[in-house]
Amino acid sequence: MKQKTITKVRKRSFTLVEQASHQVRGFSTLYQQLEEKIVLAGMSKSSLGNYGRKLAQVCLHFNQLPQHIDERKLNKYLASLARNSKVPSLSDFKHTVYGLRYCYRLLGMNDKAVKLPQIKRQDKLPVVLNKDECKMLFQKPDLLKHRVLLALIYSAGLRARELCRLKIGDIDSGRMMIHIRQSKYNKDRYVPLSPVILKGLRKYYYSCQPVDYLFNGQQPGTPMSTRGLQWVLRETVKKCKLRKDITLHTLRHTYATHLLEEGMDIVTIKELLGHERIETTMVYLHVAKPNRSKIFSPLDILYRQPIKDNA
């Protein structure tokens, strides 16, 4: 009985990739090929992690490599993933399909990649906070660290991972810029440093004395985890009693929308956000509230012109 318990504990301690490497013949070789291809393509480690985990799940389920799985059985498996999610395009279903598609193309099996289901794009608009909700959110946390980090995400339009990776030296108060290193698409970029947030950062720095990373995790010198960041936001939203569906990315959406409403052009916002394609940024055109002073009816313009006498 004890031996079974120990075996279970050991199994749980393995990652999915490690389990698949031990249990599915040929998976470790496939994973190594995947890793090499992703590194050569200049893709991020998170892409390798997402694809690797999903491929490991599929291989463990069928106890086979993807190229050997029967097409009908695979479709049945994918259908079950889609059914078990309220929003398939943001679920395990999406990442599993992407992982399989990349794997099949890696193996030169384009016909199998084409036969995989298409992922429908969502037409859902992002949730955006108004200015009073933002102020409430940045005032509610008890800890100075939590107040500052939430305000910093909004002030610079940061992704959660970007905030966690920020180092003390990335805050350039001389040039009033923040250096964001190797983010999505392995890109660096600079965003303006708000004078208001700089005051808060200085107060936080002298109070908390972070080491290396701007926001340390449980141990000094280690970065704060995205999970810890999510907990901070979740607890703050509860205190504020806000009814909107708010995530960390909501602050980034709000940053872009507020800039647009204040008159900044869409191309500049694209660069600040670090988007690859302008189409991604253009969604904020549908969210931003237009300047009310500029709203008019074309009929008003029509009758400003003097009426010509045709007689």
Place of tokens 């280690």: 222
Report the pLDDT value the prediction gives residue 83, as an integer from 0 to 100: 80
Q: Is 175 marked active-site?
A: no
252 catalytic residue (yes or no): yes
- Output the CA–CA distances (angstroms, integers) from residue 181 to 40, 150, 163, 238, 301, in the order listed: 19, 19, 10, 32, 49
Instruction: Clarify whether 227 is annotated catalytic.
Output: no
Distance between CA 186 and CA 180 in Å, rounded? 10
Residue 99 · residue 51 · CB < 8 Å: yes
Catalytic residue among 145, 159, 253, 258: 159
Q: Which of 94, 147, 252, 253 is catalytic?
A: 252
SS3 11: helix
* Token pair recorded at residue 55: 């491929």
CB 242 within 8 A of CB 142: no
Calpha distance 82→100 (Å, rounded): 15
DSSP tag of 286: G
> Which pTM was predicted?
0.67
Which residue spans within the chain are E strands per DSSP?
171-172, 177-180, 189-192
258 labelled catalytic: no
| Residue in 156, 167, 257 with CA at minimum distance from that of residue 197 | 156
Q: In this predicted model, what pLDDT tens digit does every residue of 192-228 receive, in sequence order?
A: 999 999 999 999 999 999 999 999 998 889 999 999 9
Cα–Cα dist 260/290, whole Å: 9
Q: Does the active-site annotation cover 22?
A: no
Residue 275 annotated in active site: yes
Q: Which of 61, 167, 179, 249 is catalytic?
A: 249
Through-space distance between the first and last CA atoms of the chain, rounded to whole angstroms: 106
Cα separation, 200 vs 30, whole angstroms: 48
- State how far the Cα of 104 lies from the Cα of 55, in Å rounded to an integer: 11
The answer to whether 156 touches 192, Cβ cutoff 8 Å, is yes
pLDDT for 182-200, tens place per residue?
Answer: 887 778 999 999 999 999 9
SS3 content of the chain, % helix, strand, coil (to 5): 60, 5, 35
CA angle 296, 132, 147 (to 5 degrees): 140
SS (H, E, C) 207-225: HHCCCCECCECCCCCCECC
Amino acid occupying residue 59: C
pLDDT at 88: 46
- Which listed residue (161, 184, 189, 190) is catalytic? 184
Query: Residue 59 corresponds to which tokens in the numbers above?
Result: 């291989």
CA–CA distances in Å: residue 43 to residues 33, 50, 128, 184: 14, 12, 30, 9
Q: Mean pLDDT by 10-residue block, N- to C-terminus, for the chain (311 residues)?
A: 41 75 94 89 78 93 94 90 64 85 91 79 83 95 97 95 95 96 84 94 96 94 93 96 94 94 91 90 84 60 58 45
Domains annotated for the chain, with CATH where assigned, are 10-115 (no CATH), 131-292 (1.10.443.10)
Q: Say what the pLDDT of residue 196 is.
A: 94
CB 145 within 8 A of CB 204: yes
Residue among 91, 84, 208, 71 at smallest CA distance from 146: 208
31: helix, coil or strand? helix
